[in-house]
């Protein structure tokens, strides 16, 4: 059974910290490549005429496309989380999304993430740091596209 332990103040203070925004212009080629990579043949991801016939401006992106937009807090080398006394192995522990508006070719998507929880557990493999983030994705119209929640594990 895993035990919880106290976090160093420097790490605990990261809860609430928000990332700088990451903005990505989405085009048809990105969407088609992503859909091909995940093996999804849905014509909404490839055929502009078909997507328009369903009421969209252009092709739409598969929901998991948003995972390709940003990797905060692990992406920057100067982040406090990269200086903590845990191993360099980062594991993707969990991810969930709430979707509100489809991402379409021609959209500009901005993502910001916030650390919502950090905790440590000790298990059979040693100490592990769990970092829970919430990311908000908006389009160029200011519409909330999705909210993603993710748990990363360092050991």
Kindly tell me if the per-residue pLDDT of 71 is higher than 80. no
pLDDT attached to residue 13: 81
Mean pLDDT across the chain = 85
Q: Which residues of 60-88 are buried (b: 16+ CB within 10 A; e: fewer)?
A: bbbeebbbebbbbbeeeeeeebeebebee
Task: Specify the pTM.
Answer: 0.81
- Whether residue 73 is contained in a domain is answered as yes
Residue 48 lies in a domain: no
Residue 88 lies in a domain: yes
Flag whether 45 is in a domain.
Answer: no
Q: Considering the chain, what percentage of its residues have pLDDT values greater than 70?
A: 83
Please report whether residue 92 resides in a domain.
yes
70 band by pLDDT with thresholds 50, 70 and 90: low
42 occurs within a structural domain: no
Domain count, the chain: 1
Structure tokens at 104: 């379409």
Length of the chain: 155
CATH number at residue 18: 3.10.129.10
104 within a domain of the structure (yes/no): yes
Looking at residue 125, its pLDDT comes to 77
**Domain interval for residue 78:** 3-25+68-154
């Amino acid at each position: 059974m895993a035990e919880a332990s106290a976090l160093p103040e420097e790490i605990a203070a990261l809860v609430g910290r928000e990332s700088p925004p990451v903005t990505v212009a989405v085009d048809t080629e990105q969407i088609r490549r992503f859909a091909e990579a995940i093996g999804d043949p849905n014509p909404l991801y490839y055929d502009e005429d078909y997507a328009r016939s369903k009421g969209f401006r252009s092709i739409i992106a598969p929901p998991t496309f948003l995972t390709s937009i940003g990797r905060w807090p692990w992406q920057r080398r100067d982040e406090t989380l990269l200086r903590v006394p845990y191993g360099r192995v980062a594991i993707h522990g969990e991810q969930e999304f709430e979707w509100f508006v489809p991402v379409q070719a021609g959209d500009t998507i901005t993502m910001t993430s916030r650390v919502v929880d950090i905790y440590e557990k000790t298990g059979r493999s040693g100490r592990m740091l769990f970092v829970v983030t919430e990311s908000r994705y908006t389009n160029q119209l200011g519409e909330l596209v999705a909210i993603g929640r993710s748990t990363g594990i360092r050991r």
